[in-house]
Every structure is written in structure tokens, then in C-alpha cells.
Amino acid sequence: MLTDYHTHLEKGTLSIDYLAKFVETAKKKGIGELGISEHAYHFHETKNIVSKPWMEERRYYAMNDYVDLFKEADRRGMDVKMSIEMDYTPGRHKEMEAFISSYHFDYVIGSVHWVGDFGIDLAEFRKEWDRRDLFDTYRAYYDQIITLAESNLFDVVGHLDLVKIFNYVPKDEEFLLEQYERITEALKNSKTCVEISSAGLRKPVGRLYPEPELLAMCYKKGIPIVLSSDAHEPHQVGENYEASIQLAKEAGYTSLMTFKEGVRKEVVLG
């Protein structure tokens, strides 16, 4: 079975017609389950969790409209999961928990996009990489992945090694393996699944998330996986899934997780 559990509507609107384009693409590509996980910072209700100038320019949705969209999808017989992708925010665990528990999400993705005020995956901040210590940035990023896992608030951690997006990668293999060891130890003791994201192939780094060595550690420690494309447009749903499936199988995986109403289920990897 194939799933796509990381897809965004942000380049369109919260309209049923636009959502239908994602659902139709998933059907054409043989994806059995599709989940929409809009960025939480787009919603007014998350301002007390994380607020940055970059986000405030993009905070234009209301959660009631989001929920109503999925109710309409259900009425029309569309099989689509309601999710959210939250920027994991240190020091805001109670606020994140309150938000998550206020809605009937099928699953929740937690991701790290910011190291302090440094938006690590944003083109606007790309020059900042040359001004910062690479090792310090990696440590700080993975420190947040650890506390994200320890919070046990999330069903999935998004693009686990997103920090490599612009191909700023330490040449010290021992250092990287140390970071991988740290985060997989935290993840194996949480409910958090790891996504294999094909989105990295269309980013400057040109590689899947996560790296093969990191995914192999996840498998050895019994950390479950999901598949995702992090699609921001309908045609990106299920993009480059052949590479994702190959990576999963090479690491040893024969199954992945699906979700419904907060409950996960293991299914055979197609």
C-alpha cells in the first residue's frame, strides 16, 4: 500500500475544488491514502505558539474553515485525512498540546524549520549559512528533534534531516553519526514515526530525507516510517516515490504506518 501523508494546500485556497485536484492525482498514482497537513503557522489560532515576522505575513486561515473543508470532502466521498504540520517550538509544549487536542486530526506532523530566528530552509535566509558555525547549527537543529520526540506530541517527524537542504553538510562523518545516534535514541522511545520524504530530490541538496545511514539506524531501532512527498502543488503528490520505496526497502523496511482518527495501523509496504 502507498500513502502520502505530507501535502499542503498553501499555494491555492481552502477550497474543495483545489483539494479535489490533490485527491485525483493521488488516485492516478495508485496512492491509497492521502493526508493534507497544512502548515500550522498559516492559522490565526497558532499565533500563541510561534510568531515570527516571516510567518505573520502568511497567517491568513481560520481553523474552522479548515475543519469544514474536510467535512465537505467527506460528504463528497473523498478519502482524505486531516492533519497539520506544526513548527516544533521549544518552551511551548502546553500550547502545542492544547492546539492539537482541540481538533480531531487523523495524525499530526512535527517539524523543525527554525533554529532561533534562523529559518534554515528558507531562501531568504540562505546567506545566513555562511555566517554561522555549521556544527553549532546542526547540533541545535538536532537538539530540537530530540525534544520533539521526547514531547510525544507528534505522530510523525517531518523531513528528519531537513538541515541539509542547501547542501551545507559537515564533512565530519563521525559528527553526523553522533547526531543520528542521538536522535534515533530519542525517537525509538516515542510514538513518533519518521517520514521518508521525496521532497529533498527537488531541493538544492537533491537527496531524499533522511540519509540512508540515518534511515538504517531508524530501522535497526524499530522506528516506524511513513511515505510523503511534501507536495505544495497537486502534480507533486507521490512525486519520486520509486526512489522513496527503494530507500525504505534497502534499509530493511517491509511495512509502513497509516493513520485514522489518531490511531495508527501497520500495513505492508507496496
pLDDT over threshold 70, residue 82: yes
**88-124 per-position pLDDT tens digit:** 999 999 999 999 999 999 999 999 999 999 999 999 9
Read off φ and ψ for residue 89, nearest 5 degrees. Answer: -125, 105
pLDDT over threshold 80, residue 270: no
Number of C-alpha atoms within 13 angstroms, CB side, residue 134?
A: 12
pLDDT category, 268, cuts 50, 70, 90? very high
The whole-angstrom separation of Cα 200 and Cα 146 is: 21
Q: Is the pTM of this model over 0.85?
A: yes
Q: What CA–CA distances, in Å, run from 155 to 41, 109, 119?
A: 18, 6, 23
Residues paired with residue 264 on neighbouring β-strands, in sequence order: 259
pLDDT over threshold 70, residue 212: yes
Q: What is the model's pLDDT at position 12?
A: 66
**25-79 per-position pLDDT tens digit:** 999 999 999 999 999 999 999 999 999 999 999 999 999 999 999 999 999 999 9
Q: What is the model's pLDDT at position 5?
A: 87
Residues 158-179 have a mean pLDDT of 98
Residues paired with residue 226 on neighbouring β-strands, in sequence order: 195
Q: What is the model's pLDDT at position 13?
A: 80
Average pLDDT, the chain: 96
Domains of the chain: 3-268 (3.20.20.140)
Residues 248-265 have a mean pLDDT of 97
pLDDT category, 2, cuts 50, 70, 90? confident
The grid coordinates listed for 108 are 499530526
- 252: Cα separation from own chain's centroid: 22
Q: Please, what's the largest Cα pairwise distance for the chain?
A: 53
Residue 104's CB: how many other CB atoms inside 10 A? 10
- Residue 151, classed as helix, strand or coil, is helix
pLDDT over threshold 80, residue 10: no
